[in-house]
């Protein structure tokens, strides 16, 4: 049995708390919101974000960060990506040397273009940081629906420890050392999911969705390989797997926000209607900045930015994507090197 602190009481943090408790672990859940903690203490349910999923009576709920961090074997950092840095800074005084932190949020920091694990390592250098990602809606994990996911860590022993901690008969865990690839796939698929939702809002069909998924993963993989990631990562759970589920499911807040935008809502109106953090909005600018930094063509990400931040009509963005210059579908990404450019692909 391990002592685990869940930092963040949103839907994903709560779903993982339920999973880890069923695996026989001691769970303490922290939230910065007193009303949220009061609700959890009184009802043992996250009624706002994960209704119907009951929490065990012996779980501890607190607004005191030190109570959820000190003495814990593992910390699960489950705050929305825009709050990763600030929360990490608050955690730092309480984190012991070598204490394991598993980041489960998805995003890239716009100002620095750092992934979330890089932010945590910068803010809490004494921590042993890993990531957990893959096609895994909280609504299904909380109900025990079979799910497969990947843990990424620079240390094999850390990855194996976390694999054993999370894995059970309905939650299969793979491990990988390609932490950057996992995080890029996790963050940028949310941008493509916005595009898929926009297409749905415009009334387009399955053909359009399939095109966005396949060309979206091509964009993400091009960037990832240029940044030193493994192509296999983008063919796996945190690449094409996560992209499919996020583009196709109504559990996806990014797809739901995209649908509203496709129907004519502004970005702000869509985010307000969804009532949860739409991670793809925060990752869109960062994704496009990375594309420019590494000289990689990412037309879907580019046009999502135009719709979100430049008031381009969604229908016009689709037209521009369809009428781009003719291209060859495949380039051998394994051969990309200093003398090979992907600018025109």
Cite the active site residues: 189
**118: three-class secondary structure by DSSP:** helix
Residue 257 in contact with residue 212, Cβ under 8 Å?
A: no
User: Measured between alpha carbons, how far is 48 from 84 in angstroms, rounded to an integer?
Assistant: 21
Q: How many CA atoms lie within 13 A of 316 on its CB side?
A: 9
Strand order in the sheet with 100-103: 60-62, 26-30, 3-7, 74-77, 100-103, 128-133, 147-153, 171-176
- Which stretches of 60-165 are assigned E, i.e. beta strand? 60-62, 74-77, 100-103, 128-133, 147-153
User: Measured between alpha carbons, how far is 115 from 109 in angstroms, rounded to an integer?
Assistant: 6
* Sequence-distant (≥ 6) Cβ neighbours of residue 112 within 8 angstroms: 119
The torsion angle over the Cα atoms of residues 10, 12, 14 and 20, rounded to 10 degrees, is -150
Joined tokens for residue 1:
């049995």
User: Measured between alpha carbons, how far is 266 from 15 in angstroms, rounded to an integer?
Assistant: 31
For CA atoms 197, 201, 206, 212, give the dihedral sign. negative
* Sequence-distant (≥ 6) Cβ neighbours of residue 172 within 8 angstroms: 146, 147, 148, 149
User: Measured between alpha carbons, how far is 295 from 333 in angstroms, rounded to an integer?
Assistant: 14
User: Measured between alpha carbons, how far is 64 from 49 in angstroms, rounded to an integer?
Assistant: 21
Phi and psi torsions of 173, nearest 5°:
-120, 125
């Amino acid at each position: 049995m391990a002592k685990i602190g869940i930092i963040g009481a949103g839907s994903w943090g709560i779903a993982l708390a339920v999973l880890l408790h069923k695996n026989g672990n001691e769970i303490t859940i922290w939230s910065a919101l007193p009303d949220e903690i009061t609700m959890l203490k009184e009802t043992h349910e996250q009624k706002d974000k994960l209704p119907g999923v009951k929490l065990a009576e012996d779980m501890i709920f607190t607004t005191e960060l030190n109570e959820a961090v000190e003495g814990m074997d593992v910390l699960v950092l489950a705050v929305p990506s825009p709050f990763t840095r600030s929360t990490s800074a608050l955690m730092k005084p309480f984190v012991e040397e070598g204490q394991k932190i598993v980041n489960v949020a998805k995003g890239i920091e716009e100002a620095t273009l750092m992934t979330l694990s890089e932010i945590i390592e910068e803010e809490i250098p004494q921590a042993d940081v890993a990531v957990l990602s893959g096609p895994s809606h909280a609504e299904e994990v909380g109900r025990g629906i079979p799910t497969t996911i990947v843990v990424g860590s620079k240390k094999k022993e850390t990855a194996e420890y976390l694999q054993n901690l999370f894995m059970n008969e309905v939650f299969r865990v793979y491990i990988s050392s390609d932490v950057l690839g996992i995080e890029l796939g996790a963050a940028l698929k949310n941008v493509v999911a916005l595009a898929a939702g926009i297409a749905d809002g415009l009334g387009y069909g399955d053909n359009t969705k399939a095109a966005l998924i396949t060309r979206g993963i091509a964009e993400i993989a091009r960037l990832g390989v240029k940044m030193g990631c493994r192509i296999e990562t983008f063919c796996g759970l945190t690449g094409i797997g996560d992209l499919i589920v996020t583009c196709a499911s109504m559990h996806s807040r990014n797809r739901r926000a995209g649908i509203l935008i496709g129907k004519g809502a502004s970005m702000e109106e869509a985010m307000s209607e969804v009532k949860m953090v739409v991670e793809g909005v925060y990752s869109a600018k960062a994704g496009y900045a990375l594309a420019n930094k590494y000289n990689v063509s990412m037309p879907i990400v580019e046009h999502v930015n135009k719709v979100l931040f430049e008031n381009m009509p969604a229908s016009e963005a689709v037209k521009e994507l369809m009428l781009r210059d003719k291209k060859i579908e495949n380039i051998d990404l394994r051969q990309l090197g200093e003398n090979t450019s992907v600018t025109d692909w």
